Structure 1
Amino acid sequence: MEYKKLNFKQLVADDIQKYAGFYGLRPNKTCDSVELESFIWKDYYNVRATIAMRDGKEVGLLWLMGDEDRPFAAMPLCKEEDLEYCFNLMVEYFNKELDLPLKIHLADEEGIKVLNLPEDKFIVRQEEDAKDYLYEGDKLRNLSGKKLHKKKNHYNNFLKTYGDRYEYRVLGCNPTDRDDVFKFLDKWREKKGEEVEKHLDPEVEGIHDILLHCTKLNIRMGAIYIDGEMEAFSIGSYNKLEDMAVIHIEKANPEINGLYQAVNK
């Protein structure tokens, strides 16, 4: 009856440091492998979390998302040896507490392999439109290889036009940098107009939330300024176990050719 002890609470900025120790406990190459991804979308997906206990010890971080009619979960954050226990806790919670089958979105491939779920009880389906892009760091920095040739051409065009006019800056958690991002976002959002993806405004709200609480978050931010004005910025974090940078947000003035490639480098 351990599932009855699960007490899911809304995710807030002050929780991030408390939950940080559950990240990087097992191999995971998805964007959900770092704290910031859950924080960005906490309001859009109604993200709630709780800590799983086993024999008096904290063994994993469990997720509950969505609304009462369509709840879903994410893969537990825990060590490989605790994954089956944490997963089964969620199965029980959904089956017995919510009277629903467990549904997990964006389950990581590594976790699926560890669980080795029986096919007669679980359906594992690949979501083609939800895949994360994985690049080798050196190839992306140098834009080398056939697959990145088009990106390199765009970047070279950017250098020809703005080579002596642009500057890359590392952003910090200070009012000046924050205000620059806010101003850029206002202009960027205005250019998008009304016919946009339904997640766009919640994403902008998530960015505002990040900047207002960035001292509590494990993030790295950078921006490109052209003629002294911010024209692109990026927010990322680092998965130490995988030695992997995770880029959560990347926005650029779409009217400037090659700018996305420049900030991506």
Structure 2
Amino acid sequence: MKQFSIEDKNIFNEFFRKYPPQNSEYTFTNLYMWNHYYNLYYEIINDCLCLISQRDNITAILPPIGDELNIIRAFEVLYKRYKDEGSNTLLERFPEKLAKKISEIFCIEMELDEDNSDYVYNTSDLINLSGRKYHAKKNHVNRFKKLYNYSIETLNETNIMECLYFTEKWLQDKDIQENPGLLDEFQSIKTFFESYRYFDVKGIVIRIGGKVEAYTFGELLNPETAVIHIEKANPDIPDLYAFINQCFAEKVWSHIPYINREQDMGIPGLRRAKQSYHPVKMVYKYKGQI
């Protein structure tokens, strides 16, 4: 097992190119941003990229990346290794089809991990906001455009530190005790901005009165899907979240059929917000234990 680092980008990207993922976790950017949480190790087994997370005395196997048949063979190696060790090893973020195979072949009980399943939308729906079900969303966007003198710019090395400062202020208004995961998210954003030049992302920044009041960034997950990693906006500015959501889809991802907006992490308000945009499908993920 080798510890995951920035030098591994080409290895990971080659596997993701050859075996396009559906899970939002599986971009190099996402894994690197969140490695302070995952503490990832990897190795190549049977031509599959195998990822292990070691955190807080917990070992977790993430779904191997590779050819369908080889994935089962690679997982068998990991299964025997960790079963022989006698550790309570977790299986995390396994896509539905693979989870069912693992359950059948290895007699492992796999359960739906609803909190970490991804919301996927038609890009055209997020851009056009057509029909009755998007009527309120369209009103929010139009109202923002009328009320505010705003500017839109590309996320780049000249404004990323302003975005980080904005995020620090955004976090100060949050109840960390109620949602401690926000500290992990802030660390992931900080890691991203500090290593920005390494990542293949696109983003936009919204300024109002010259100040950064919102930003978002994402990247291609697979040839048909973009994934949105982070979206932050000043909650005191009405309709800004609706505007940046629509604006990013229109200005950057209009040529891509789908947008994956990641999971809701079981946070009730976030779940309601993601459901309110009417996903066209979900990427269901499963968890289990050896």
**TM-score band (shorter)?**
0.7 to 0.9
* Structure 2 match to 1:141: 127
Inter-CA distance 168–50: structure 2 relative to 1 (3 Å threshold): same
1:105 correspondence with 2:83: no
Deviation (angstroms), 1:224: 0.9
Distance 1:178 1:233 in 2: 9
What residue ranges of structure 2 are gaps of 5+ in the alignment?
247-290
CA distance in 1, matches of 2:30, 2:91: 16
Q: Which of 13, 30, 43 is the matching residue for 1:20?
A: 13
* One-letter amino acid matched to 2:30: E
- Contact map agreement 1:74 1:107 (CA 8 A) in 2: yes
- Could you say what secondary structure the match of 1:225 adopts? strand
Q: How many Å separate the matches in 1 of 2:12 and 2:239?
A: 38
- One-letter amino acid of the counterpart of residue 212, structure 2: M
Aligned pairs (5 A) from 1:11-160: 11-26=4-19, 28-52=21-45, 54=46, 59-67=47-55, 69-96=57-84, 98-100=85-87, 102-112=89-99, 115=101, 117-118=103-104, 121-160=107-146
| C-alpha spacing 1:65/1:31, structure 2 compared with 1 (3 Å) | same
After TM superposition, the score normalised by the length of structure 2 is 0.77
- The answer to whether the 8 A contact 1:31-1:246 is kept is yes
In the aligned structure 2, how far is the partner of 1:120 from the partner of 1:106?
A: 17
Q: In structure 2, do the counterparts of structure 1 residues 68 and 160 end up closer, same or farther at CA, with 3 Å as the change threshold?
A: closer
Q: Provide closer, same or farther for how the CA distance between residues 154 and 17 of structure 1 changes in structure 2, counting only shifts above 3 A.
A: same
Whole-Å separation in 2 of the counterparts to 1:196 and 1:21: 39
1:32 partner SS: coil
Name the count of aligned residue pairs.
Answer: 246
Given that residues 20 and 221 in structure 2 are in contact (C-alpha distance below 8 angstroms), is that contact kept between their aligned partners in structure 1?
Answer: no
Code of the aligned partner of 1:245: A
Candidates 167, 179, 182, aligned match of 1:185:
167
TM-score by length of 1: 0.84
> Percent identity, aligned pairs only?
26
**What letter is aligned with 1:43?**
H
Note the aligned Cα RMSD (angstroms).
Answer: 2.1
1:131-177 CA distance string (max 9 Å, x none)? 21110011111122444333223222212211xx11121112x2x21
Q: 1:117 to 1:80 in 2, by over 3 A?
A: same
